[in-house]
Amino acid sequence: MSGRGYVVGLHASAEKLGGLERLDAPATAVAKAVQQVVGQGGLKDLLSGTRLGHPLHPLLTDIPIGTLASASVLDLLAKERGEHAADVLVALGLLSAVPTAAAGAADWSDSYGPDQRVGAVHAVANVIGLGLYGWSLRARRRGDRRTATALGLAGMTSMAVGGYLGGYLSHSRGVGVNNAFYQHAPEDWTAVLDEAELQEGASARAVTGDATVLLYRSNGHIHAIGSRCSHAGGPLDEGDVDPASCTVTCPWHQSVFRLRDGGVVHGPASVPQATYETRTHGGQIEIRLRR
């Protein structure tokens, strides 16, 4: 098979995994258990990267992958000179895998269907890889370098499978990316709704070009933010608006956004919504992207 043929084969295998409905029952049960442990609010925000403005899991994955892969390189190339460094790297990799896995599990627990199935296999491959590195660490403590090296390489192979599936989820299926990024918002004043259609304390959905907008009138002021949720594309215009805090809660995974500036109050979202300046002109509500 040519190089391109292998790549196409990997992609097709990942697509097939996404169609394995028999994974749904165990995956959904585990996802529910994760949701119960993580809950909504502080821990969820921490694991989602809400305060960072960037999903946490992909930031953390570099640490265990980097340290464990480096340990295996030292095992193979540096031999006795690199033994101590390799052992420290394996221990560090295993320690750093704990918060990495917790952040990944929190993200994964919000997924459905093919994303949830592929995410489950991604997690299992990584857990097997980490287990093999844990076993490798025991062999290192016994001084059995040959076994330690072999177990490390087996662990890296399993983690490579997990890593490929993680990349497939992000780059082929758009999991964890800003789902509102490709909505093209108007940069010049654009009429989007009849003024009479938006009463005080009410919200409305408007469409302009390929962007959808949530409008909300409060104390005479009209707020406007992108209505496609940055987390996974949920419809914010179907969410609950809290007049007291002037926020909207996404109906899909309960991220909370400020209507004033699109900021994230609670995750799992980590990226703010686009916000618009508003004005009324000739009986129409007009908006333009706030810079």
Residues that bind ligand FES (CB under 6 A): 229, 231-234, 250, 252-253, 255, 268-269
Cα separation of 134 and 132, whole Å?
Answer: 5
Name which of 71 and 256 has its Cβ closer to ligand FES. 256
Minimum distance between the CB of residue 119 and ligand FES, rounded to whole angstroms? 15
Tell me the residue length of the chain: 291
Q: How far is the CB of 29 from ligand FES (least distance, A)?
A: 21
Backbone angles phi, psi at 123, to 5 degrees: -65, -45
Tell me the closest approach of the beta carbon of residue 95 to ligand FES, in angstroms.
30
**Residue 143 neighbours by CB under 8 Å, 6+ apart:** none
Q: Using CA atoms, how far apart are residues 133 and 156, in angstroms rounded to an integer? A: 8
In DSSP terms, 7 is beta-bridged to none
Nearer to ligand FES, 122 or 231 (CB): 231
- Closest contact distance (angstroms) between CB of 1 and ligand FES is 38
- CB nearer ligand FES, residue 236 or residue 287: 236
Closest CB 274 distance from ligand FES, rounded Å? 14
- Which residues lie below 8 Å from residue 239, measured CB to CB, with a gap of 6+? 248, 249, 250, 251
- Edge to edge, the sheet with strand 276-281 lists 190-194, 284-289, 276-281
Nearer to ligand FES, 18 or 239 (CB): 239
Which of 126, 212 has the CB closer to ligand FES? 212
Q: Which is nearer to ligand FES, 67 or 255 (CB)?
A: 255
Assess contact for 86 and 97: CB atoms under 8 A: no
Q: How far is the CB of 263 from ligand FES (least distance, A)?
A: 14
Which tokens in the block code for residue 59? 């930031």
Residue with tokens 């704990």: 98
Residue in the block written with tokens 């490798």: 136
Where are the strands (E) in 106-197, listed by range? 190-194
Nearer to ligand FES, 83 or 238 (CB): 238
**H or E element, residue 76:** helix 56-77
